[in-house]
Amino acid sequence: MPEITPFLKSLLSVAGISSYETPVTQLIEKKWRPLVDETRLSRIGSLEALKRGSGPEPRPSIMVATHMDAIGMMVTSIADGFLHFTQVGGIDPRILPGTPVIVHASASGEELPGIVVMPPARALPASVGDGVLGLEHLLIDVGLLPEEVAAKVRTGDLVSFATEPKELAGEVISGHTLDNRASVAVLTVALEELQNKSHAWDVWAVATVQEEVSLGGAFTSAFGLRPQIAVAIDVTFAKGPGANDWQTVPLGKGPTLTMGPNIHPYLFKKFEELAKNLEIPYQTEVTPRHTGTDGYATQVAAEGIPTMVIGIPLRYMHTPVELVALKDIQRAGRLLAEFIASLEPDFVEKIVWED
């Protein structure tokens, strides 16, 4: 089994905030290039990698979308050397005070280390002083004098998490941006497995941009590539402290196969059959509305694309200490590779609704 952890850790060590994905795009492109036939960038920056199938032309294609963008922060204004900021994507503000960050200072081109700080309670309105502070009350301190900050940092500069990835006991990894670099690792595992398997279909492995703000990469790549089917892989809520059993799934018990209106039931059925046959641990997850994943975009792109969504259980969503079981990554990667290899040239004709 190929060892994916070092690559995953490298993915967790760069920023790549939505719309500014280039640092992570480069890492992924370098890793995928030897595994595929060609790579290219979409018009808005998604990495589209083609691994050609062996079936007769015109060959159907499957698109696998794993978003590579990260949530982060952006400077809104500077006051006395402290930075006010807003979020790019959704951030849980409760965890921010004390968090180490990197300020990508555009005027000087430096990466300034900083920390998120909060004013003392007495300096805040009585209504919020002792409670959890919203983003509008938090600041970033980079340790410089006000005039130095003014010379280096500008409104609109990016701020990324500086938390280092950490392997914990129990084959678990923690870090920022496991949402959704864990799924990029899944797709990478699948591409590696496919090196030794024949597959009839073309495979478009896509590391999408801007999922955290608009699902923009998935909408546009699905439209541009026009695959016959699409699979989105994204993280899902694993059971953590205080969580119940009906809104979360256990960590480390396998990836989830999602059911619901966003998912084509035939694809779900095929994935489940395959997982059972191969004895790959999996869980089922029901999402009655928006899956909150790239799959929501691929389903309605162009004339519509039958879509499957696979979840990687993750704790502490949208914090700098997200947490994933490495086993779930390997399992999902293997299941995906097996599914792709199982696609017969006439699979599309077999897709049926069972009303």
Return residues touching another protein (CB under 8 A): 18-20, 42-44, 46, 74-77, 84, 86, 88, 136, 154-156, 210, 213-214, 216-217, 219-221, 223-224
Residue burial 47-79, b: 16+ Cβ < 10 Å; e: rest = bbbbbebebeeeebbbbbbbbbbbbbbbbeebe
Is the CB of 35 or the CB of 73 nearer to another protein?
Answer: 73
Selection from 158, 149, 135 nearest residue 82 by Cα: 149
Q: Distance (Å, rounded) from C-alpha 123 to C-alpha 129?
A: 8
Is the CB of 153 or the CB of 337 nearer to another protein?
Answer: 153
Q: In which element (H, E) is residue 204 found? A: strand 202-208
Question: What residues pair up with 61 in beta bridges, in sequence order?
Answer: 202
Is the CB of 31 or the CB of 104 nearer to another protein?
Answer: 104
Quote the least distance from Cβ 213 to another protein, whole Å: 6
DSSP tag of 288: S
Q: Distance (Å, rounded) from C-alpha 165 to C-alpha 324?
A: 11
Quote the least distance from Cβ 299 to another protein, whole Å: 15
Is residue 272 annotated as part of the catalytic site, yes or no? Answer: no
DSSP reduced 3-state for 315:
strand
Is the CB of 104 or the CB of 199 nearer to another protein?
Answer: 104
Terminal Cα distance for the chain, rounded = 40
Q: Distance (Å, rounded) from C-alpha 38 to C-alpha 49?
A: 6
Q: 246: which 2 tokens?
A: 């009906």
Is the CB of 19 or the CB of 39 nearer to another protein?
Answer: 19
Is the CB of 4 or the CB of 27 nearer to another protein?
Answer: 27
Quote the least distance from Cβ 138 to another protein, whole Å: 11
149: number of CA atoms within 13 Å, CB side?
Answer: 21
Quote the least distance from Cβ 224 to another protein, whole Å: 3
Q: Name the catalytic one among 192, 193, 211, 322.
A: 211
DSSP characters for 216-260? Answer: HHHHHHHHHH--SEEEEEEEEEB--TT--SSS-B-TTS-PEEEES
By the 8 A CB rule, do 318 and 232 touch? no
Quote the least distance from Cβ 44 to another protein, whole Å: 4
Residues that are catalytic: 211
